[in-house]
Amino acid sequence: MDVHRRTVNAAGNSLPSDKSSKSKNQKHDLQSQQSLYLTNAVFFGLFFSVAYFLLHRWREKIRNSTPLDVLTISEIVAVVSLIGSIFYLMVFFGIGIIFHPFAATRAVHYDEEDESDIAKTSGLCLAGVSPTLPPLPPKISVEKVAPALAPAMILSSDDEEIVRAVVSGSIPSYSLESKLGDCKRAAAIRNLAVERVTGRSLQGLPMEGFDYDSILGQCCEMPIGFIQIPVGVAGPLLLDGKEYTVPMATTEGCLVASTNRGCKAIYVSGGASAVVLRDGMTRAPVVRFNSAKRASQLKFYLEDPQNFDSLSHTFNKSSRFARLQSIKATMAGKNLYIRFTCSTGDAMGMNMVSKGVQNVLDFLQSDFPDMDVIGISGNFCSDKKAAAVNWIEGRGKSVVCEAVIKEEVVRKVLKTSVESLVELNMLKNLTGSAMAGALGGFNAHASNIVSAIYLATGQDPAQNVESSHCMTMMEAVNDGKDLHVSVTMPSIEVGTVGGGTQLASQSACLNLLGVKGASKESPGANSRELATIVAGSVLAGELSLMSAIAAGQLVKSHMKYNRSSKDVTKLAS
């Protein structure tokens, strides 16, 4: 017991001396910092006052035509003072670095003293008597470390031989998946082979973190990696009484923010509503006969209502979801273009309608053996091209979406007026597009929103061409106080099953919208709902961009959100 008491007392007696020494050191550090701050203030004041003096003197010399190199004694002193203050300020950060290691060394010294004290007095009895001593954090040495480069791919000897074989051409690059039975390994080998053949680095193109098995035979051939596109969200979009958080994959700054503002304006005004006017995918083969008369006979046969049932039965055998809706044929000399339209459930439906068309062509061959099928697609469909037939007849989902935006919302949220928006829409979207000879382009930037949602949800991005056909209408209602805005989009081509919709990222975005996969209750309901979401988002985007233009905010917002001062090449390296 005596030993324990003496130990505790010794420890207790040693603590006050340590505290007094630490307080002295802290006072010394505080005095050093104060003197450093005072010195800095003096030199900053000297720099600005001398600079002002010299500028004032030189301006007088310019006015009086006095040579600038003729200096008075006061000006010489001012120049020397300016140079001295500049020199001090330039090396100031260097002085700070000198002080910093000194302070860090002292901090480490104190840590070591504390640790030694605890080591000396951390017996069982001391632990029970003095529980208030806080545990010391581990010492961390702060060093600037250059960012590590992505590790190079390490190949086995077998893989190295395969790379050389691909480079030499003895193994076709497209056959790697089937020969190796490992899609990821095939992509990695192909990646290196491409680098060696082209002599160009693929550093920065990621390989890890992607399911290459999921794209085999359906989404992409001969993969060497994948690209990264950021996904933002706009919303909530209040549409037909439901709220949607809309995913948008884009590299254009300001787009998501602008669409989000439009969603807010729609939301606080009570929401938007949409209606699907038509739902039918098309395919139009081109066939040829020996004469125009013979081609016309097939045209009359196809358009005869009495023959539709047999043709429909033949077409519908291709799928349990495909249902033939109509056939329209047109002639160019002895060539006949036949446009089939059918419903396709929740799939976008290009493959489905193509199979049905092939069944009908095979069926017609028996009655028209002289029919020469030139191509399953004759561009009268018309797929991935701006065409009047899609603008007039529609393709995919034809949707109209509308909303009434209150005057107060236009003024406070959109920062403009109803009159300005109506006038701008007439002169820009309608008259301006007509002057340009636009085909389906009577809008501000519908393709921006369509492309972003298509990329996020796994749609065919090339179908943005006809899917972005849109006419934006604006007019004053309710005695000119409120704004009625609508978008008419006759050919939104979307699906919620098949293609890129089954990839993990795109599937997650569809799930966010609540339209993932096929609708069990009503086939086609999910894809139609997705089409209305696209139209509602376009409505929000049109509303916001037109308001920015009307208020003169377009350039300012793009300078703020769509430009970067960072050196991207250095960041990538």
Handedness of CA 286, 291, 297, 303 (dihedral sign): positive
Cα separation values, 388 from 393, 460, 518, Å: 8, 20, 31
Distance separating alpha carbons of residues 501 and 526, to the nearest angstrom: 12
Distance separating alpha carbons of residues 319 and 344, to the nearest angstrom: 9
Per DSSP (E only), the strands in 300-391 are 323-332, 335-343, 372-375
Distance separating alpha carbons of residues 268 and 173, to the nearest angstrom: 55
Distance separating alpha carbons of residues 411 and 322, to the nearest angstrom: 48
User: H helices of 368-463, where?
Assistant: 388-393, 407-412, 418-424, 433-435, 446-457
Task: Count the neighbouring beta carbons within 10 Å of the beta carbon of residue 126.
Answer: 18
Exposure of 436 by Cβ count < 10 A (0-12 exposed, 13-18 middle, 19+ buried)?
exposed
Distance separating alpha carbons of residues 398 and 533, to the nearest angstrom: 13
Q: Look up residue 216 and give its two tokens.
A: 């085999």
Which residues are the active-site residues?
252, 384, 460, 558
Torsion-angle region of 476 (φ positive above 0: left; ψ -120 to 50: alpha; else: beta): beta
Q: The tokens 């999921």 sit on which residue?
A: 214
Distance separating alpha carbons of residues 212 and 176, to the nearest angstrom: 13
Per DSSP (E only), the strands in 305-379 are 323-332, 335-343, 372-375
Distance separating alpha carbons of residues 352 and 378, to the nearest angstrom: 17
Cα separation values, 491 from 107, 385, 388, 400, Å: 70, 11, 11, 11
CB 387 within 8 A of CB 238: no
Residues 6+ apart with CB under 8 A from 508: none
- Identity (one letter) of the amino acid at 197? V
CB 431 within 8 A of CB 455: no
Distance separating alpha carbons of residues 277 and 397, to the nearest angstrom: 7
- Identity (one letter) of the amino acid at 563? R
